[in-house]
Amino acid sequence: MDKKLKFGMIGTNFISHTMAEAIIESGCAEIYAVYSRKHETGAAFAEKYGVPSERVYTTLEDIAGSGIDAMYIASPNKFHAEQSIFFLRRGIHVLIEKPAGADAAEYEEMCRVAEENGVVLMEGMRQAHDPAWQIVCDALPEIGRIRHASFEFCQYSSRYDRHKAGEHTNTFDRTFANASMFDIGVYPLHCLVMLFGEPKRVQANSVFLENGFEGCGEITLAYDGFTASALYSKIYDSPRPSAIYGEEGCIFINKLSVPASATLCLRGKEPVQLPVVGKENNMVYEVRDFATLVRDGDVIHPYTDTTAVVMRIMDEARRLAGVKFD
């Protein structure tokens, strides 16, 4: 790409900093403008990444008119669809942090508006762009007929102690369309869909905190000839790797979102490390793929379908487990 993609940024939390670093490292994009409800918060973020103070905005209208090509949105889940549609209708490409919306219907509307306006909409699902997953996919035939996959992402939230102490945090407030399924469970679900497609059936169970927030859960997917499970949590840690089990062996993956290693274990043979080269900030791949879609005008792309399937699975899982946002 000859001209760097000019990004606007909504959100100044930790994931926005990771994305900002990825944008800079990508070499194909730049941080051009920053939005925050509080000017001082936006100004501090902008200063860290070399964005002039005059390109810090407190209204969506102003940042939309600042000359940006694309908007990265990392606001609370509740606002993802509304804010995405706002920019898409103005001809601005959107990289939306996961989850893409609060439900499948919201995401369908976002896709419709993107196509109608000829702009790219892509969910920011970092592992979908990491070369490590292609290596895992290429190794699948070696383990024979697949019979089960167990993918998990269990991470004790840095804000959980504050919640237990009685402090209100948006992270554990379901009215922002927050749930462990949406914040954490989306990772193993996306990986499963990325590898195996849409399941035939969905089952789900959740554990709820005293305020009704979903703290952890498990979603089971039924495919032809095998099952898969997505285990996730914001209230406990798990060091276990994820695994794909076949009749001839299995593959272990150490971390779904940022895979640093993967091991192939064939029956009766010594384990073999797959040639996975971990990248500390694999959002760089995400930014580069997004910029390529924009450059090539690929408004309709494969990532759209994967996200749509995941959103439908989560709709059904929420219904079965009783996960509510009101």
Each residue's pLDDT tens digit, 38-97: 999 999 999 999 999 999 999 999 999 999 999 999 999 999 999 999 999 999 999 999
Domain-wise residue ranges, the chain: 5-127, 128-282+312-321
Whether a cis peptide bond, with omega within 30° of 0, leads into 99 is yes
Output the pLDDT for position 106. 98
Q: Check if 5-127 and 128-282+312-321 are the same fold.
A: no
Region 260-287 average pLDDT = 94
Output the pLDDT for position 2. 66
CA–CA gap between residue 255 and residue 272 (Å, rounded): 17
Name which residue leads in pLDDT, 1 or 297.
Answer: 297
Residue 326 pLDDT grade (very low, low, confident, very high; cuts 50, 70, 90): confident
CA–CA gap between residue 227 and residue 207 (Å, rounded): 22
CATH 3.30.360.10 fits 128-282+312-321, yes or no: yes
Name which residue leads in pLDDT, 280 or 318.
Answer: 318
User: What percentage of residues in the chain have a pLDDT greater than 90?
Assistant: 97
Output the pLDDT for position 277. 83
Average pLDDT value for the chain? 97
Residue 127: closest CA among 199, 197, 189: 189
> Under CATH, what is the fold of the domain 5-127?
Rossmann fold (3.40.50)
Residue 1 has pLDDT above 50, yes or no: no
Per residue in 230-242, pLDDT tens?
A: 999 999 999 999 9
Give pTM, 2 decimals: 0.95
Per residue in 100-125, pLDDT tens?
A: 999 999 999 999 999 999 999 999 99
Q: 33 near 57, Cβ under 8 Å?
A: yes
